[in-house]
């Protein structure tokens, strides 16, 4: 990641994404719609590559995982049985003065205590520096009110922990004044819709808030195909929808996003902790294999007392985003909760028969669940670099490079004729383009000076550039005829290679 690891870096990434056609605000010509994003020409390629890599590694290259694509709208009873209708909520707080809404667990407050006495409260929104910011505010509060005495350390708590008598005293993050925040109340994040012509209670359905329930609901159907034996997994990639109270941090928290989830079913007496560890390690290795820096990754084990009653353990793989260390991939050991719930609610048995042990049981499950968009953002943050490179005249200038792993780079190779007004160069370059195109994404560019064309490709992460020049045409002697310059993005090193060798050199490096 670039040195300017901060809000500055985030601004640069957002601006690059817009300028170069990775990501746009949805419905921008109408002022945009909060929490929804569009992926432009390069964004769709990058997304598709992430998805394809995951699918290949998770499903196609394994004997023990099969794929599924279930519908986005499912029977409403699915979401009752799964607990989402009753409990898929975030705590919401309204500011009655500004009319802004907040997630209660993203508001942090502390009493201001001077000489052992509480003299007021201060508030900040979730950030990397909650305690420091609260202390700064407490110092300002004491100074402004001209209170004498010793300021005691702040005691940060989130708003869900506020006592009823404290709520009227805690300042709103919107106005800075106390008295306008409501007590937190549960807000269900599922999007509702109606199925069919009637718009009454009986027609209510939900856009799925996760893909996972498809795997539980279709568990029996997949078992009956006879292709699978425990332990085995069912994987799915698809859109999920959550009416997030405060979508933010670009594509990190959106209302429409894409998930890649896998449910790994194991025997009820198997060592769940071993499998949990196995999948945490697998996910971490996979993130590194698509170019995410290992040093930006960490693990967070959820505290036992905060887990749902059925959960045996949840570990999140965290990524150091410019706006803080945040969850990227959650790996949960969910016991037999989901299958048991659906079995009870539907009346259908969700059991597995082990014909060696002659035993029937409800399998337990390990669930690695990740968002494509969060991976994409982590990849961009890992890959964004500003370095120094010589311009056309040899003067050093700042170069922006996306050091994307060739596996996931939207364009694998750019092909440039040195000059666009020399038909022989153009013809040769188009031949090279057509030679490579069946095997990889190729971008052909003949506009502007060659240095500028290299920079444009560096900025969108194209790992290789091929230039067709007069040597290619044999003007400097027959030994260089039909050779091209192959430039590598990160080192900017150039080597002379034969056109007939190009495919053999590039293919193993981009796959």
Applying CB under 6 A, the residues found at the interface with ligand ATP are 210, 242, 244, 253-254, 257, 259, 327-330, 369-371, 373-374
Gap between the Cα atoms of 56 and 34, Å rounded: 33
Measured from the CB atom, the residue of 136 and 327 that comes closer to ligand ATP is 327
- Closest CB to ligand ATP among residues 213, 343: 213
71, two tokens: 């519908």
Instruction: Compare residues 244 and 338 and give the one whose CB is closer to ligand ATP.
Output: 244
- Which of 474, 511, 509, 482 is CA-nearest to residue 498? 482
Length of the chain: 511
Q: Report, in Å, the least distance between residue 492 CB and ligand ATP.
A: 34
Between 315 and 457, whose beta carbon lies closer to ligand ATP?
Answer: 315
First to last CA, the chain: 24
Smallest gap from residue 247 Cβ to ligand ATP (A)? 7
Question: Whose CB is nearest to ligand ATP?
Answer: 371
How far is the CA of 47 from the CAs of 38, 40, 253, 257, in angstroms? 11, 10, 16, 12
Cα separation, 324 vs 174, in Å, equals 22
Q: Per the omega criterion (within 30 degrees of 0), is the bond before 231 cis? A: yes
Instruction: Please tell me whether residue 256 adopts helix, strand or coil conformation.
Output: strand
CB of 191 to ligand ATP, least distance (A): 12
Q: Least distance (Å) from ligand ATP to the CB of residue 398? A: 32
Residue number with CB closer to ligand ATP (137 or 374): 374
Closest approach, Cβ 30 to ligand ATP, in A, equals 22
- 373 vs 445, beta carbon nearer ligand ATP: 373
- Nearest approach, Cβ of 58 to ligand ATP (angstroms)? 15
496 burial level (CB within 10 Å; 0-12, 13-18, 19+): exposed
CB nearer to ligand ATP: pick between 376 and 466: 376
Beta-carbon contacts of 144 under 8 Å, excluding residues fewer than 6 positions away, are none
Q: Which of 123, 345, 359 is nearest to 213 (CA)?
A: 345
Nearest to 1 by CA among 329, 284, 379, 299: 379
Shortest separation between residue 302's beta carbon and ligand ATP, angstroms: 9
For 71, phi then psi, to 5°, come to -75, 155
């Amino acid at each position: 990641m670039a040195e300017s690891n901060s809000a500055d870096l985030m601004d640069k990434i957002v601006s690059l994404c817009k300028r170069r056609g990775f990501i746009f605000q949805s419905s921008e010509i109408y002022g945009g719609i909060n929490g929804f994003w569009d992926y432009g020409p390069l964004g769709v390629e990058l997304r598709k590559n992430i998805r394809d890599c995951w699918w290949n590694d998770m499903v196609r290259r394994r004997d023990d995982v099969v794929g599924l694509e279930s519908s986005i709208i499912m029977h409403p009873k699915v979401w009752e049985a799964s607990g989402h209708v009753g409990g898929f909520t975030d705590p919401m707080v309204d500011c009655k003065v500004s009319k802004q809404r907040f997630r209660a667990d993203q508001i942090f407050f502390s009493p201001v205590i001077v000489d052992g006495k509480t003299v007021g409260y201060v508030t900040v929104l979730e950030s990397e520096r909650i305690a420091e910011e609260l202390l700064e505010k407490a110092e300002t509060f004491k100074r402004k009110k001209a209170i004498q005495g010793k300021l005691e350390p702040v005691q940060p708590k989130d708003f869900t922990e506020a006592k009823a008598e404290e709520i009227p005293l805690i300042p709103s993050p919107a106005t800075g004044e106390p008295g306008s925040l409501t007590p937190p109340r549960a807000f269900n994040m599922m999007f509702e819709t109606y199925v069919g012509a009637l718009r009454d209670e009986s027609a209510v359905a939900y856009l799925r808030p996760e893909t996972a329930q498809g795997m539980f609901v279709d568990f029996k159907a997949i078992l009956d195909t006879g292709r699978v034996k425990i332990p085995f997994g069912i994987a799915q990639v698809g859109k999920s929808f959550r009416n997030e109270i405060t979508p933010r941090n670009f594509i990190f928290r959106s209302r429409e996003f894409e998930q890649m989830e896998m449910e790994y079913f194991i025997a009820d007496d198997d060592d769940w902790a071993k499998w949990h560890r196995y999948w945490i390690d697998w996910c971490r290795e996979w993130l590194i294999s698509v170019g995410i820096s290992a040093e930006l990754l960490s693990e967070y084990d959820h505290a036992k007392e905060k887990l749902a009653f059925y959960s045996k353990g949840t570990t999140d793989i965290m990524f150091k985003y410019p706006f803080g260390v945040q969850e990227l991939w959650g790996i949960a050991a969910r016991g037999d909760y989901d299958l048991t719930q659906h079995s009870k609610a539907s009346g259908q048995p969700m059991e597995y028969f082990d014909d060696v042990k002659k035993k029937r049981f409800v399998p337990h499950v390990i669930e690695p669940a990740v968002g494509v968009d969060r991976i994409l953002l982590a990849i961009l943050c890992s890959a964004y670099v500003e370095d120094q490179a010589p311009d056309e005249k040899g003067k050093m200038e700042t170069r922006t490079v996306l050091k994307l792993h060739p596996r996931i780079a939207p364009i694998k190779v750019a092909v440039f004729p040195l000059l666009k007004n020399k038909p022989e160069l153009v013809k040769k370059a188009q031949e090279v383009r057509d030679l490579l195109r069946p095997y990889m994404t190729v971008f052909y560019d003949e506009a502007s000076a060659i240095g500028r064309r290299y920079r444009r490709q560096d900025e969108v992460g194209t790992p290789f550039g091929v230039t067709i020049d007069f040597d290619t045409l044999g003007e400097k002697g027959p030994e260089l005829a039909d050779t091209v310059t192959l430039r590598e993005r990160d080192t900017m090193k150039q080597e002379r290679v034969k056109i007939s060798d190009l495919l053999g050199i590039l293919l193993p490096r981009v796959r």
